[in-house]
Structure 1
Amino acid sequence: MFVRTIYVTGDPEQIETAVRALNSEGRELLEERPGYRGAGVFVDRELGKLLGVSWWDSEKARHNSDEVMREHRPAMLRPFAGTLAVENFEAVVYHAVGVPRAGGGLRVTRVEFDPADARIFADTFRSAVLPRLEEMHGLATAGLFLDRERGTGQVGALFTDRASMAASRAAQAAVRHDTAAKVRVDVVGLEEFEVVHADVRPG
């Protein structure tokens, strides 16, 4: 599958307006597009950050949907959005062990790597990282998103509740350390979000 992420920052007091728009008009627009496989909305209400993720069964479906969504995003995100960044990835790994639910937690690890190492990174994630993530209490889903050409990516670990996410911090820190020792991967960002909505239907 393929994913598009939108990363939005703005006034924390206005974030609920964007959440409501994305969960109503935004979801309706996405569901009308061919190749749609699900979406998620994640927030940091204290700092004023919103992460939106949509899932697609092909690069073409993702691209075609973006032509429509690009026209509607400014109005949906107003007056919250101060900055907006859009990124596209391949969902190299998506593994579900539980059911995501509102109020849960999402930890996103942003990484950079040599594009030539994309395959070994993905193989290492499947063989060495994923089994250790599965052992963490409350894990619902884990995924690896890569932009093979740019050498950027995201590791997502979604937990059924925020207490489980907090309790996993030390264990996942150890996983990051061990992975960096095996593969040339630089961690360039680490963030946590509250789950507002998460629904993915793998193809």
Structure 2
Amino acid sequence: MFVRAVYATGDPALLDTAVRSVNNQGRDLLEERPGYRGAGVFADREAGTLLTVSWWETEEARHNSDAVMRERRGALLEPFAGTVAVANYEAAVFHQIAHPRQGGGLRVTRLEFDPRDADLVVDTFRATVVPRTEALPGLSGVSLLVDRERGRGLGNTLFLDRASLAASRAAVAAVRHEASAKAHLDVVGLEELEVVHADVRFA
């Protein structure tokens, strides 16, 4: 599948307004688009960051949906969003163990790598990260989103609750160190976000 990620930052005091708008009107708009397969809404209420991720059957479906969403995105995110960045990815790995819950936790690891190493990154994530993390208490799932052309990606671990997310930090740090060395990639960012909504359908 293919993914569009929208990352917005702004005044934390205005974040809840954007969360409600994205989680209601935004989701209704997405549901109407052909090829839509689910979405996630994640927030850091203290820092004032909002990440929305939509999942699509094909690149074409994602592209076609963006014509509508681009027009509506500003209104959905105001007055919160001071900055908005949009990125497109291939969902190279998606391993779900349990359905995510509202109030759970998402750890996002931002990656950069030589585009020529994209297959190595995917293979390493599948062979190292997935088996090393799937037994972690409270894990809901792991995924790897990659932009092969630009050499960028998001490695994600999703937990059923924030306590499990916090308890996993040391173990996941060790896996991150091992995987980055094997795949010749750089970790350029690390964030932990609250799960507001998450649902991906494969059938």
CA distance in 2, matches of 1:195, 1:180: 26
Give the 5 Å matches for 1:33-182. Answer: 33-182=33-182
Seq. identity, %: 66
- TM-score calculated relative to the size of structure 2: 0.99
- Cα RMSD of the aligned pairs, angstroms, is 0.7
Give the Cα separation in 1 of the matches to 2:187 and 2:62: 26
Measured after TM superposition, the shift of residue 182 of structure 1 is 1.1
Q: After the TM superposition, list the runs of 4 or more consecutive aligned residues in structure 1 that deviate by more than 4 angstroms.
A: none
Q: Which residue type is aligned with residue 127 of structure 1?
A: A
2-side partners of 1:82 and 1:49: how far apart? 10
The separation in 2 between residues aligned to 1:180 and 1:79, in whole angstroms, is 38
Which AA in structure 2 matches 1:117? D
Report the Cα offset of residue 40 of structure 1: 0.6
What is the alpha-carbon distance in structure 1 between the residues aligned to residue 71 and residue 183 of structure 2?
40
1:95 CA drift (Å):
0.6
Residue 21 of structure 1 aligns to a residue in which SS? Answer: helix
* Structure 1: distance between partners of 2:21 and 2:141: 25
Q: Distance in 2 between matches of 1:180 and 1:35?
A: 33
SS in 2 for 1:15: helix
Q: Per-residue displacement from partner, 1:60-113 (whole Å, max 9, x unpaired)?
A: 000000110000011111100000000000000001001101000000000000
How far apart in 1 are the matches of 2:71 and 2:172? Answer: 38
Q: Which secondary structure state, in structure 2, belongs to the residue aligned with residue 46 of structure 1? A: coil
Distance in 1 separating the partners of 2:77 and 2:129? 35
**Which segments of 5 or more consecutive residues in structure 1 lack a partner in the other structure?**
none
Aligned match of 2:191: 191
C-alpha deviation, 1:202, in angstroms: 2.1
State the Cα distance separating 1:25 from its structure 2 match: 0.7
Give the alignment's TM-score, normalised by structure 1. 0.99
AA in 2 matched with 1:90:
E
d(CA) in 2 for partners of 1:139, 1:52: 20
Match in the other structure for 2:21: 21
Q: Distance in 2 between matches of 1:57 and 1:22?
A: 21
Secondary structure of residue in 1 paired with 2:187: strand
For the residue of structure 2 that corresponds to 1:42, the secondary structure is: strand
How many residues end up aligned between the 2 structures?
203
Question: Which letter maps to 1:170?
Answer: A
Counterpart-to-counterpart distance in 1, 2:80 and 2:125: 36
The letter of the residue matching 2:178 is: D
Structure 2 CA distance, aligned partners of 1:125 and 1:2? 18
Q: How far is the alpha carbon of 1:135 from its aligned partner?
A: 1.6
Structure 2: where are the runs of 5+ without partners? none
